[in-house]
Chains A and B, each alone.
Chain A
Amino acid sequence: MKTMLSNPSLYFEVKSFQAYEVSLLQELAYQEWLGIFADDLRYRAPLVYVKDQREGSLSRQTDLMLYDDSYETLSLRVARAKSKKAWTEIPPSRLRYFVDPVEIEEEPDGLRVASNLIIYQTRLQREENLFVGHRIDRVRRSEDGWKVFDRYAVIDRAVLPSKNLTVFF
């Protein structure tokens, strides 16, 4: 049963949190960005399977994915991207994130926020990648604000259109 967004202050709080994250990602401030996640983070982006029906059209948990990271391995990716030999970010990408919440549900320990997502990446002279998808975050309150402890992002195109995947969802 879907419910409509009805709590303006909660909506504003979610939008504000998302805007903060977008500003960090667009500025490639990945170390600071890691701060929005809880230590027990599960960060996943499944593969999209083309099937006759919607059921089974995403990676099962034991399948390959685009990302399946813990806080520790996500931190490794961030550390790599900061290396002086990370050719994928030298010169740096220019990124724009558009995140829009479509469902917000209160849960015992926090919130479940489902959002639509568009990421535009351009690099070098004219290289362009567009990632369009859907993201489900589960967040909990902590002493220093919201922390995402589960992120599940589906990029809708079955064959990824980019030569590599260096943006975070």
Chain B
Amino acid sequence: METQSVDREYADLVQPESGMVSSTIFTDPGIYQLELEKIFTKSWLYLGHESQLPNENDFFTTYMGSDSVVVTRSGGKIRAFLNFCTHRGMKVCRTDSGNAPAFTCPYHGWCFSSKGELVGVPGYREAYYENLEMNRWGLREVAQLDTFGGLIFATWNPNASSLLDYLGEMAVYLDRVVSRSDGGVEMIGGVQKWELPVNWKMPAENFLGDSYHVATTHGSVMDIGYRKRPKKDGFQISLRGGHGFGSELGGFGAGSTGSSAYAKYIDEMRAKLDAQDNPANQFIPLGHSTIFPNMSILDSVKFRMIRMSHPRGPRLTESHTMCFVDKNLDPELKEEIRREFILSFGPSGMFEVEDGEIWGEIADSISGYMASRQPFNYQMGLGKEELTADKFGQGLPGRTGWYWSEINQREYYRQWRSLMEAK
């Protein structure tokens, strides 16, 4: 068992108040093991979207932290289970998605219904003498599961407060991502999956609050006119619980090579939404965002995506990317969004290729000993935070900083530290 190899307390490693976080929390195997328990079994985690399970007995597989889980629709209800046969731990489901009333373990043949009940055991009479407690040995089910605007979340924590409480101040903004159009959103088919050789927090904190990197990291995309140079006018909004988002005024990611049909659609939608009395509408599209700990969103003038950064080891992240469209959108616009998305984000995306390049090299750099003793600097905008309500209107929750500010990251690591320190 690897343990924390640093001799310092979390209070030394993570100092949001002075804007410093040790690079060790991105490499240390002991810290990683503790995160799996203290972060990933305590938080609400995103699993997928209801549109992935349109029919009875549909299922898909994903991760909660580093655990494989099966998500099913059974008896009309969405459920999620550890993908682990209760006999010897074999995966009872080895495919990405499908439709199945039951899952039979390929090792000894234990069979579980889509509700997770153990319904068949070879040798139940001859070998177990009808003494096996079938009720007790069903698949391990999550403690709580709930949805928000069609987004499915679950937690292993029976004592966690409700999903709505967990999203907290973020809920009014997340609502504008998924429920701004009648009928809500649906997922375009397929999940892009790839491996990033870096700790899961690096992509998560980037989507959370890093408008700062855009001009430098993604300079190549601006050189070819696919994206305008950022106007240096925008905001970050930080919310209790470590969630946050940020954008530039005029909508995140606008290009200089003419306006797309989708950008026009968003403009029209915003004009329509102005009639509603919802101050959060001013932030549509929302920009970049992370919901603590590892669910990220990009809501740009070209597309909407959800990104999960699944931890697969202290230095390995499995990136899952999904693209969303308004359900009632014209098929031609859906097609435009699909192709724009593939061109700009995901493993081959003209933006995203550079992020992977940089994060991979950071992971290599911080594997050195001296490097592990260096703090990262999160001091941008320290002391310049103000209330969102003061700047953007009454009732809007959170605290805000300028377009280039690390306010969101500071709150994120404050939340991270408080969970890691919890007994």
- Asked if A66 and B346 sit within 8 Å, CB to CB, the answer is yes
CB of B97 within 8 A of CB of A84, answer no
Residue of A nearest to B221 (CB): A80
The answer on a CB contact under 8 Å between B318 and A159 is: yes
Query: What is the distance, in angstroms, from A90's C-beta to the closest C-beta of chain B?
Result: 9
Which single member of A63, A73, A124 contacts B343 (CB below 8 Å)? A73
Q: Which residues of B contact A160 (CB under 8 A)?
A: 192-195, 347
Whether B96 contacts A49 by the Cβ 8 Å rule is yes
Contact B360 A163 (CB under 8 A): yes
Report if B372 contacts A (CB, 8 A): no
Number of interface residues of B (CB under 8 A): 49
Residue of B nearest to A168 (CB): B348
Q: Which B316-347 residues have a C-beta within 8 angstroms of A? A: 318, 321-323, 334-335, 338-339, 341-343, 346-347
Check if B219 is an interface residue, CB within 8 A of chain A: yes
Given contacts A63-B189, A63-B190, A66-B346, contact A87 B195 (CB under 8 A): no
Instruction: Check B96 against A51 for contact (C-beta < 8 Å).
Output: yes
**A62 engages B189 (CB within 8 Å):** yes
Stretch at the interface among B162-170, B349-357, B383-391, B393-401: B349-357
- Encode contact with A along B218-248: 1 for CB under 8 Å, 0 otherwise: 0111011010000000000000000000000
Against B, the Cβ 8 Å flags (1 = close, 0 = not) of A7-45 are 000000000000000000000000000000000000001
Chain A: interface size category: 35 or more
A67 touches which of B190, B224, B335, B348 (Cβ 8 Å): B348
Contact with B along A37-74 (1 / 0, CB 8 A): 00000000101011110000001101111111100010
Q: Is A164 part of the contact surface with B, judged by Cβ < 8 Å?
A: yes
User: What's the nearest-Cβ distance from chain B to residue A119, in Å?
Assistant: 13
B220 A158 Cβ-Cβ under 8 A? no
Q: Are B94 and A77 in contact (CB under 8 A)?
A: no
| Complex contacts, B195 vs chain A, CB 8 Å | 159-163
**Contact indicator B342/A67 (Cβ below 8 Å):** yes
B66-102 near A? 1/0 per residue, CB < 8 Å: 0000000000000000000000000000111110000
Instruction: Please name all residues of chain A whose beta carbon is closer than 8 Å to the beta carbon of B94 when the two chains form the complex.
Output: 50
Set of chain A residues within 8 Å of B347, measured between Cβ atoms: 66, 160, 162, 164-165
| Chain A, residue nearest B360 (CB) | A163
Contact between chains at B359 and A62 (CB < 8 Å): no
| Residue interface mask B136-156, A partner, CB < 8 A = 1 | 000000000000000000000
Bound-state Cα–Cα, A66 to B338, Å? 11
Q: Given the complex, which residues of B lie within 8 Å of A5, measured CB to CB?
A: none
Is the pair A80, B191 in contact by a Cβ cutoff of 8 Å?
no
Q: Does A79 contact B (CB under 8 A)?
A: yes
Which residues of B are found within 8 Å of A68, using beta-carbon distances? 338-339, 342
B227 → chain A closest CB, angstroms:
11
Minimum CB distance partner of B189 in chain A: A63
User: Closest CB-CB distance, B23 to chain A, in whole Å?
Assistant: 19
Q: Smallest distance from the beta carbon of A109 to chain B beta carbons, Å?
A: 25
- Complex alpha-carbon distance, A73 and B343, angstroms: 7
User: How far, in angstroms, from A88 to B346 measured CA to CA in the complex?
Assistant: 15
Q: Tell me, in angstroms, the Cα distance from A78 to B1 when the chains sit together.
A: 47
Contact flag A76-B350 (CB < 8 Å), given A64-B341, A64-B342, A88-B357: yes
**With a CB–CB cut-off of 8 A, which chain B residues contact A76?**
224, 226, 343, 350
CB distance from A157 to the nearest CB of B (A): 9
CB pair B190 A51 closer than 8 Å: no
A165 partner residues in chain B, CB cutoff 8 A = 194, 347-348, 353
Known: A60-B189, A80-B226, A163-B360. 4 other contacts (CB 8 A): A47-B191, A52-B98, A64-B341, A66-B192
Closest 4 CB pairs of A and B: A85-B219, A164-B356, A63-B189, A83-B220
- 26 residue pairs from A and B, CB less than 8 Å apart: A45-B348, A49-B96, A49-B190, A64-B323, A64-B338, A64-B346, A65-B342, A67-B348, A73-B339, A76-B226, A77-B350, A81-B220, A83-B219, A83-B220, A83-B224, A87-B358, A88-B354, A88-B356, A88-B357, A158-B193, A159-B318, A160-B192, A161-B195, A162-B195, A164-B355, A164-B356
B residues whose Cβ falls under 8 Å from a Cβ of A: 94-98, 188-198, 216-217, 219-221, 223-224, 226, 318, 321-323, 334-335, 338-339, 341-343, 346-348, 350, 352-361
